[in-house]
Structure 1
Amino acid sequence: MSSASGDQPRRPAVFFDRDGVLNKDIGYLFESDRLIWIDGAREAVKAVNDTGYFAFVVTNQSGVARGLYEEAHIQELHGWMAQELGRIGAHIDAFEYCPFHPEGTVERYRKVSYRRKPSPGMINDLLARFPVDLEHSFLVGDQPTDLEAARAAGLKGYLFSGSNLELFLRPLLQRS
Structure 2
Amino acid sequence: MPVASLEVPSPEESENVWSLIPQLKRKLHMHQKKAFEFPWRNLAGSVVPSMMDPSSDKMGGCVVSHTPGAGKTFLIIAFLASYLKIFRGKRPLVLAPKTTLYTWYKEFIKWEIPVPVHLIHDRRTKRTRFSSRGFQNRAKTLVNCLDKIQKWHAQPV
The structure where strand makes up a greater share of residues is 1
Select the structure with the greater relative contact order (CA < 8 A; seq sep ≥ 6).
1
TM-score with structure 1 setting the length: 0.30
The structure where helix makes up a greater share of residues is 2
Q: Which has the larger radius of gyration?
A: 2
